[in-house]
Amino acid sequence: GAGVSQSPSNKVTEKGKDVELRCDPISGHTALYWYRQSLGQGLEFLIYFQGNSAPDKSGLPSDRFSAERTGGSVSTLTIQRTQQEDSAVYLCASSSPGQGPPLHFGNGTRLTVT
Amino acid sequence: TQLLEQSPQFLSIQEGENLTVYCNSSSVFSSLQWYRQEPGEGPVLLVTVVTGGEVKKLKRLTFQFGDARKDSSLHITAAQPGDTGLYLCAGGTSGTYKYIFGTGTRLKVLA
């Protein structure tokens, strides 16, 4: 029973470069979330996918951020033209078809923009 | 905009002491979860409370949901170094999938 898998675990990139963060949810979980966590603080909602429905992108901070989920499983969060303020831990979570808690989180990708 | 404020933000105590962490909002939630997060890992669910006034116990941890479902508390009895971590509350609203996370309480228990 694998949990939520995120890669890479760490990413250092130069300002202005694009990055892709990957999330592999728990098999059978139809709901997938991306959150951002800065400096070990609370979580900021970014985007939500549920099955084949249109995603809720209301939390994406700018048009440099985008995400997709292929085949209802793996998701990729892309940040274009990275800025230093994008430095944070990006957490992915999935949940069971009933959509209720708990959210099962991956260990996150720590992004550092230099 | 729904917000969840946690207090205190930081807490450092000696092993064996008791502590309470608070999670407050002006909004009503249909459910509230508490998570613990350790360095380098994602948050892990501790408990979910759904009824106003509900109290749940998990070994030395006691969770309470306020009568009006706007606030919650987490009480730890006889804290252990293994309790060290970031504690996060998260509120859910019926009919939506969004969970609003609190600002977090970083607990350090010294041996």
Token pair 């997060």 is found at B37
Which candidate from B40, B44, B97 shows the least CB-CB separation from A31? B97
A-B Cβ pairs (cutoff 8 Å, strict): 62
DSSP secondary structure code for residue A96 in this structure: -
The pLDDT profile of chain A, 114 residues, written as one tens digit per residue, is: 579 999 999 999 999 999 999 999 999 888 999 999 997 678 999 999 988 888 999 999 999 999 999 887 999 999 999 999 999 999 999 988 665 668 999 999 999 999
Q: How far is A66 from chain B (nearest CA, A)?
A: 18
Q: Which of B86, B92, B106 faces A101 most closely, judged by CB atoms?
A: B92
pLDDT (tens digit per residue) in B30-74: 999 999 999 999 999 999 999 999 999 999 999 999 999 999 999
| Chain A from 40 to 79: CB within 8 A of any B CB | 40-45, 48, 50, 56
Probe site for chain B from A39, A44, A94, A103 (most B CB atoms < 10 A)? A103
Count each helix (H run) and each strand (E run) in chain B, helices first.
Answer: 0, 11
Cβ-based burial of A45 (10 A; exposed 0-12, middle 13-18, buried ≥19) = middle
